[in-house]
Amino acid sequence: MQTPLKFLTAFVLTASAFSASAHGMHKHKPLTFEELPKICQQYFTRAENCYKKAGAKSDFQRNNTKFLFQSLPAADLTQRETMCKIAMDSFAEKTRSLHCE
């Protein structure tokens, strides 16, 4: 596993331990697409285009992407940008088996 992917995995596991409780992620107002940093908008657009092309076999990756989107309100702007940059940088490797790019 490459370093960015390890970091993202560690972050997701850490976030799920702290933020996934009913008290954690739900105390923050959900963000709209327009409220996201530019890198996040690019990542989510890229991911959605890939998942549409890949169909049902992308469900696991789609759920991971959904979790990232739901985690963003709990992060500050710098953290949001960092999380989306890591996701963008590791996207091609994550979805290689989907043959969507």
Angstrom distance (rounded) from CA 52 to CA 35: 23
Is the CB of residue 69 less than 8 Å from the CB of residue 44? yes
pTM for the model: 0.72
Angstrom distance (rounded) from CA 52 to CA 1: 26
- Ranges of each domain in the chain: 3-98
pLDDT of 88 higher than 90 = yes
* CB-based burial, 3-19: b 16+ in 10 Å, e otherwise: eeeebbeebbeebeeeb
pLDDT digits (tens, 9 = 90+) for 6-47: 555 545 544 444 444 434 445 678 889 999 999 999 999 999
